[in-house]
Amino acid sequence: MSGALGLLHLGDLQVSYPWSRPRLPGILAALGWSSEGGEGEVRRDPPPRLAVVVPMHLVAALDWHRAWLRQARSILVIREIAEPEDQEVRDDAELREVVGESYAAAEARLGRPVEAIWWTGSAASTAALRGRLEALAARAPVDAGRAMTLPRPDVAPPAAPPGPWRAWETEPLGGLGALARTICVDAGRPAILEIGRDSLALRSLESGAILRSGSPLQRVAISGDGRRVLGRAPAGALVEYGPLEGPRRSVAGIDHATPFYLAPALGLGAAGSRCWFRWLRVDDDDASVLAPVVHEWPCGHGKKLWGYMDNEPVLAEVSAAADAYLSVYDVDAIVGSVVEPRWRAAGPLQVPVWPPHDPLRALFTCPDWRYLDGRAPAAGLADEDCRGDAPAIALGPDAEHRYALGLDREVWRLRGEEAVQLGAGGEGYAIYSADHRLCRRGRGRLLCGGAGWLWIEAEGAIWREPIRGGERVRCVDVDRRIDAALALPGAANAVLIHVVAPPEPAESEDHEARRVPWFHERFELRLV
């Protein structure tokens, strides 16, 4: 597809349901073309030359998708005023000029060579648009660039020595997510981001010393290398992105969202709230929306429990080849296979297939049967109130070892409308392939995993074990209750988590199914 002209409807990238009806096929039909089907090509970024249909009510979406659109070398903005409600703009030249100023301002902010053409939907306008697209498609090919992947080291990453237990308080309304989105490895030093009212401070998990600092943000995620942050501006809903030390720039289209994944090396990030999130396109200088995650039901993150308790994001991880992802929320986790759009030929163009179908997508949850009310388990889990906690789960390095799943608690898997119990509790852990075949089982309690490693609690100790199988390495003895653990990005280290109970237990909806209580802020952490 190198050098091809891409065509997309920006409205299609706003939908997140597989049954949504995309707008682009209708426009292709009007132009006399259709998608040719077939597998197509998966691409993180658009083709180097791109035509974008932008309806009048979605001019702001040019800012929402800025960093992604800027990956194209040149852009044609198709200013669509073809809907019945656009009649006044079509008929009034002065009004169209005013609307054109809004388009032009957004186009200028893309920072790329941008051409523009109006499309009214009439036969003459459609013929002019087709001719413009054919002329652009006939231009000399442009190098499409190389696909991005995370580095695959030939040797295991070095492991820092275990550290002492350290008291830690998260930002208010913390929970496990407030820890997961703030751990990193800064120049080989395991670290965690301390979020204060007046500043951000990156502290060593080994010594506790401040390594670097920056201006304040809230609900912030730090990149795995500790270089960049994405979070809400103080006392506001706007999200900012940039170096830890600053300066930063605003990110449009994700106001009020919680960032929970940031990987500039892979070019991706994630930010969302209850039940769904958006994939972000990030580089060293900018971040913007790529596309929403496709939210299916019942195989989708729950929205809220009991009518009021929001199910919030905890962490996400994407495979090195971006052919799989793991997203973990408070009460459920998803392993999916679609992160990036797939592009297919349509006449002289390439068009994205969106919303996509993800046949390998699966949801996992540890149930809380107090709210089953006599229903079948599958119906109870679909209703969300019976989802008690996300299981211990880790994304694997390849399709044969796609994910590791803790079976020390009762765990169910949902695929489509099918719910299957995988473990009843006390059964160790299991490794599954991308098509959900059982590959092997292991003994001990799975705590977390990452960078090709698993961390297991067994026989009074914490062990590190290759996810593909092999000899375990003893890390430390267990000297207190381990409630959860988090793998450090790209490193052979993890952080053990002990929940420090409040002096006086408060009334709560928490149940024994939950490892970390809702909104908990006080912990003890240990590097292993």
When comparing pLDDT for 72 and 510, which is higher? 72
When comparing pLDDT for 104 and 39, which is higher? 104
- For residues 413 and 436, the answer to whether their CB atoms sit within 8 Å is yes
Which SS3 state, helix, strand or coil, does residue 280 take?
Answer: strand
Percent of the chain at pLDDT > 90 equals 73
pLDDT at residue 525, rounded to an integer: 97
Over residues 174-187, the mean pLDDT reads 95
Cβ-proximal residues to 158 (8 Å cutoff; 6+ apart), any chain: 188, 491, 492
Range with lowest mean pLDDT among 148-157, 300-309, 346-355: 148-157
- For residues 391 and 406, the answer to whether their CB atoms sit within 8 Å is yes
Instruction: Record the pTM.
Output: 0.93
Beta bridge partners of 240: 231, 250
When comparing pLDDT for 506 and 438, which is higher? 438
Looking at the predicted structure, is the pLDDT value of residue 154 above 50?
A: no
Q: Measured between alpha carbons, how far is 266 from 283 in angstroms, rounded to an integer?
A: 8
Over residues 492-501, the mean pLDDT reads 95
Looking at the predicted structure, is the pLDDT value of residue 347 above 60?
A: yes
Band of pLDDT at residue 431, cut at 50, 70 and 90: very high
294-306 residue pLDDT tens: 888 888 999 888 8
Nearest alpha carbon to residue 455 among 442, 444, 446, 443: 446
Band of pLDDT at residue 142, cut at 50, 70 and 90: low
Looking at the predicted structure, is the pLDDT value of residue 1 above 60?
A: no
- Which strands make up the sheet holding 183-186, listed edge to edge? 183-186, 189-195, 200-204, 210-214
pLDDT at residue 331, rounded to an integer: 94
52-96 residue pLDDT tens: 999 999 999 999 999 999 999 999 999 999 999 999 999 999 999
